[in-house]
Amino acid sequence: MLPRARQLLTADRLAALVLPAPANPGLPLLLECGCGERAQFERAHIPGAGYLDTGDVERPPHWTRIPDAELLAVLLAQGIRHDSTVILYGRNNLAAARVAQLLLYAGVDDVRLLDGGFAAWLAAGLPCESGAPRAVSPAAASAAAFGAIFPRHPEYLIDTAQARALLAQEDGILASIRTEAEHLGLTSGYNYITARGDIPGAHWARAGDNGDVNSMSACQQANGAMKPAREIEQLWRAAGITRDHEVAFYCGTGWRASMAFFYAWLMDWPRISVYDGGWCEWSADPTNPIMPISSPFSRP
C-alpha cells in the first residue's frame, strides 16, 4: 500500500466525503482545477466544488509559478490555510496535479487528488450540479493567516541554476517526463516552444503517447488512474532513477512533471522536486546546452 494512500481518492471515496451535505462548512475544500474551463465547470461539476484556474498560479512566458506573495494571496482567497484539507480534481487531471504540487510546496498539510479526475466521477455514475463555484470564506489577506511559514517546502521547486547544479551532483538526477518524440527532438511538443531536443545528462523517465502532451500513459492506466506503485518504480528504475537519488522531475512546462512528483510523493520518495521552468525555460536560454536530436540519453 502507498504510504500516503488516503491522499489519492477513488470517486466512491470522494462521494462519501462530499455528497452528504456539500454546504457543510466542516467538509474538505473541494476544488476543480482547469485551464480556461470555467464555462464547462458551470455546466456540470462535482457538487460543492469551487474552481481554480491554473492561469491564477502560473504565468507566461515559461509558465512557472507566480511569485510567492501572489501565490499566498490566491490560496488565502480560496480559504486555504496550512491546516486545510484540500481535494483537487480536473477535466485534465494534470491541471489538478499542477495545483497539488504547488500546495505541497506552499505547505498545505492535507492535499488529496481524485484518481482519474472528473472522468472517474462521471464513469462512476455519480451526480453533478451546475452553476457558479461554491462560495468561499477567504482567509485574512496576510502572511500570518496561512498559519505557517510560507512556503514551507521551498525544496519542492527548483529553478534553472539549481537544475544545472543537480546535473553536476553525484546523486542528482533530472528526470524528463516527456514523450519519446519530445526527448528525441522530433517535436518540441508545444506550439509556443520552438527548440527541439532535451537536456544533456537528463534521464528519460517517459510520459505518455507521442503527440499528446497531456498523456501520462507510462504511469497511468487507460482510465487515467495511477498504475501500481511497483510498476512506476520499475519504469523509473530502468531509467536509472531510484528513491536514493535526489530527483527533479520536469516536462515542457510543469504539468506532467507535477503528476510524476505527486506519484513519487505518494510513494514517500524523500528528495524530490519539480524543475518548474522545464524544457520551456531551459531551451529559451542560449547558454544552456541542448542534447542533439535523436541522440539517446546518457545512462548512469
Q: Which residues are catalytic?
A: 251
Which amino acid makes up residue 109?
A: D
Whether the bond between 292 and the residue before it is cis, its omega within 30 degrees of 0, is no
Residue 76 contacts residue 106 (beta carbons within 8 Å):
no
Residue 123 contacts residue 62 (beta carbons within 8 Å):
no
The Cα 107–Cα 71 span in angstroms is 12
User: Could you identify the residue written with the cell 487528488?
Assistant: 113
- Helix H or strand E encompassing 296: none
User: Could you identify the residue written with the cell 462521471?
Assistant: 122
The Cα 38–Cα 132 span in angstroms is 9
Q: Judging by beta carbons within 10 Å of its beta carbon (0-12, 13-18, 19+), is residue 14 exposed, middle or buried?
A: buried
The Cα 1–Cα 19 span in angstroms is 26
Beta strands in the chain (DSSP E): 8-9, 29-34, 50-53, 58-59, 64-65, 85-89, 110-114, 157-158, 172-176, 203-204, 246-250, 272-275
